Amino acid sequence: MVDITHKVTTLRTAKAQAIVHVSSADTIAAVVENRVPKGNVFEMAKVAGLFAVKNTHITIPDCHPLPVEYTAVEYEIDGLEIRIYITVKTVYKTGVEVEAMHGASVIALTMYDMLKPIDKGITIREVGLVQKTGGKSSFKEKNPREIQATVVVCSDSISKGIKEDKAGKVIVDKLKSHGVNVTSYEVIPDELELIRARTFELVEKNQLVIFTGGTGLSQRDVTPEALEPILERRIPGVEEAIRSYGQKTMPFAMLSRSVAGTIGDSIVLALPGSTNGAKESMDAVFPHLLHVFRILKGANHEPSE
């Protein structure tokens, strides 16, 4: 199965449909009037669909077991068509599109099985996804390239050429994957005044400034001390999300002193200097963090359509 351990948990919904086409109005009447010999078609098919949704991971090899927290089945009759709609919800790391389509398919097949003794001309068609929400696509901003970002690596050893930077490059790649325009990337030593001075310079030209490194507890880890006094407004939720996400996979994440806040209309982040720490921090808050730039421009808190 695909690795979803890096994904964040969100509310995910999916609505799927299937159409059962019968060959006679008498068949529709038998269904509506509950005269089908095998029993109540709507209720039997619904039960079959509920079981199908819950057991999708058993039938479809690459589907993850997940908590199905809501399922609803609706029917519409249009001439000789029975339209099936099924909605599935979960709060999890991966979506429920396949679960919804699996449920719709099994409902349609159950109807076929129950109706075939009285109608030999039944067909099933248009099994597919009607709507989905949740996950990365629902939080994607429309014009992320309008956001100018820069990445600064704070490290004595890397600035001296003793070690190679990987964390900063991970952050750059992550930003680019979300369409953010990365204008610069640089390495500086762990010097408090230098970090502070570069921050003031960089926020003049960038809406997003991300530092990596210097957030630990060693004597040279001074990035939070450099940034905290100059941030105009802290964003505690971002800091909490980063640590909470990291703590689920690495117990040492609680020792990180990640910082998030604003200077004017710019967002400043200080992330861990380890490669995994930087990657997990970015996974924890992107692309969701990009929505803040719409808020700073006066938009509401609803995700963009």
Instruction: State both tokens at 110.
Output: 């159950």
Please provide the average confidence, as pLDDT, over all residues in the chain. Answer: 93
pLDDT tens digits for range 229-270: 999 999 999 999 999 999 888 888 888 999 999 999 999 999
Q: Is the pLDDT of residue 146 over 90?
A: no
Please report which confidence band the pLDDT of residue 303 belongs to, taking 50, 70 and 90 as the band edges. Answer: low
Q: What is the pLDDT of residues 78-132, one digit of tens each?
A: 999 999 999 999 999 999 999 999 999 999 999 999 999 999 999 999 999 999 9
The CATH number of the domain covering residues in 144-297: 3.40.980.10
Banded model confidence at residue 305, pLDDT cuts 50, 70, 90: very low
Mean pLDDT of 201-230: 96
Question: Is residue 283 annotated as a catalytic residue, yes or no?
Answer: no
pLDDT at 304: 47
Buried b (16+ CB within 10 A) or exposed e, 47-83: ebbbebbbbbbeeeeebeebebeebebebeeeebbbe
**Mean pLDDT, residues 268-295 taken together:** 92
Mean pLDDT across the stretch 265-292? 94
**Mean pLDDT of the region 174-181:** 93
Bridge pairing between strands 81-92 and 148-154: unpaired
pLDDT at 137: 66
- The pLDDT of residue 251 is 86
User: What are the domain boundaries of the chain?
Assistant: 10-135, 144-297
Percent of all residues in the chain with a pLDDT value above 70, rounded to a whole number: 94
Q: What Cα–Cα distance (Å) separates residue 225 from each residue in 114, 158, 237, 270?
A: 71, 20, 19, 11
Percentage of the chain modeled with pLDDT above 90: 83
pLDDT of 9 > 60? The answer is yes
Tell me whether the omega of the peptide bond preceding residue 287 falls within 30 degrees of 0, making it cis. yes
Q: What is the mean pLDDT of residues 194-212?
A: 97
pLDDT band per the 50, 70, 90 thresholds, residue 7: confident
Average pLDDT over residues 186-190: 97
From residue 17, alpha-carbon distances to 125, 205, 209, 210 in Å are 9, 49, 45, 44
Dihedral over Cα of 44, 47, 51, 52: its sign: positive
Please check the confidence at residue 199 and state whether its pLDDT lies above 70.
yes
Determine the average pLDDT of the residues in 147-164: 96
- The top-level CATH class assigned to 10-135 is alpha beta
Task: Write down the catalytic residue from 26, 113, 221, 265.
Answer: 113
- pLDDT band of residue 277 (cuts 50, 70, 90) is very high
**Over residues 197-203, mean pLDDT:** 97
Mean per-residue pLDDT, 13-26: 98
